[in-house]
């Protein structure tokens, strides 16, 4: 006999774990020195969120992007988003893992929506302004920039789940009987 049902109590552990992954992805994106952008052909120019470097082999000349207001805005938005995400992660651990505190879940969802909005703005400003700054050649966005988007997508998904979870309080606490989607006899 095979039964397939949704085990809601698992969400109590999975959602904080997903938020932990989002925090890690954000830290990787913010701290990456290998760059968010690199030129397509010659590999002679790359830029991270903090600086841009030109050169070849071991002769690199780096210049800070923090002299531009748009780069400062991107850094501020990403760091503020990371701080709010860490706060949401800590609150979600307390609300779901230590004890089941359903009234806090919509507040966590609001924090995650704010984080997602801040990071989407930052991740759109960066390529637009970087392309205005640099006119030559084609550039590829690297894995570090992708980690920023990955964290943002996870944050959006978790925000939706935290909005929906208060409707399933009995299922989360284990009081409700498991509803099977499929049973084979």
Assess if residue 54 is contained within a domain: no
Tell me how far apart the alpha carbons of residues 14 and 20 are, in angstroms, rounded to a whole number: 10
Q: How many residues does the chain have?
A: 185
Read off the pLDDT of each residue in 69-73 and give the average, rounded to a whole number: 92
| Average pLDDT over the chain, rounded to an integer | 83
> Of 14 and 18, which is predicted with more confidence?
18
Per-residue CA distances from 8 to 28, 86, 133, 171 (Å): 31, 24, 49, 6
Which residue in 43, 50, 41, 21 sits closest to 126, CA to CA? 50
CB 178 within 8 Å of CB 9: no
Quick check: 64 pLDDT over 70? yes
Domain CATH code at residue 156 = 1.20.140
DSSP track, 98-139:
IS--GGGHHHHHHHHHHHHHHHHHHHHHHHHHHHHH--SS-E
Kind of pairing, strands 139-141 and 180-184? unpaired
Assess if residue 86 is contained within a domain: yes
CB 106 within 8 Å of CB 166: yes
Digit-coded pLDDT (tens) for 80-121: 999 999 999 999 998 887 777 778 889 999 999 999 999 999
Assess if residue 124 is contained within a domain: yes
Q: What is the pLDDT of residue 96?
A: 81
Tell whether pTM > 0.75: yes
pLDDT tier for residue 1 given thresholds of 50, 70 and 90:
very low
Report how many domains make up the chain.
1
Read off the pLDDT of each residue in 66-77 and give the average, rounded to a whole number: 92
Assess if residue 94 is contained within a domain: yes
Domain enclosing residue 98, as ranges? 8-36+68-133+143-178
Assess if residue 98 is contained within a domain: yes
Residue 120's Cα: distance from chain center in Å?
10
Count CB neighbours of 87 within 10 A. 13
Assess if residue 114 is contained within a domain: yes
Assess if residue 27 is contained within a domain: yes
Tell me how far apart the alpha carbons of residues 121 and 127 are, in angstroms, rounded to a whole number: 11
Digit-coded pLDDT (tens) for 128-146: 888 787 756 677 888 888 9
Q: What is the pLDDT of residue 176?
A: 60
Assess if residue 81 is contained within a domain: yes
pLDDT tier for residue 43 given thresholds of 50, 70 and 90:
confident
């Amino acid at each position: 006999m095979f039964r397939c049902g949704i085990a809601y109590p698992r969400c109590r552990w999975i959602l904080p774990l997903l938020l932990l992954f989002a925090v890690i992805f954000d830290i990787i994106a913010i701290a990456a020195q290998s760059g968010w952008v690199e030129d397509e052909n010659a590999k002679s120019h790359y830029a991270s969120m903090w600086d841009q470097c030109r050169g070849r082999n071991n002769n690199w000349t780096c210049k800070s992007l923090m002299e531009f207001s748009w780069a400062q805005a991107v850094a501020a938005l990403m760091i503020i988003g990371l701080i709010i995400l860490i706060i949401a992660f800590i609150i979600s651990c307390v609300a779901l893992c230590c004890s089941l505190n359903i009234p806090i879940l919509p507040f966590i969802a609001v924090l995650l929506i704010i984080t997602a909005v801040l990071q989407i703005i930052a991740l759109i400003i960066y390529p637009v302004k970087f392309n205005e700054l640099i006119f030559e050649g084609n550039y590829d966005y690297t894995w570090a920039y992708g980690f920023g988007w990955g964290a943002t997508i996870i944050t959006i998904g978790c925000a939706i789940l935290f909005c929906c979870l208060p409707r399933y309080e009995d299922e989360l606490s284990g009081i409700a009987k498991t509803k099977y989607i499929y049973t084979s006899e």
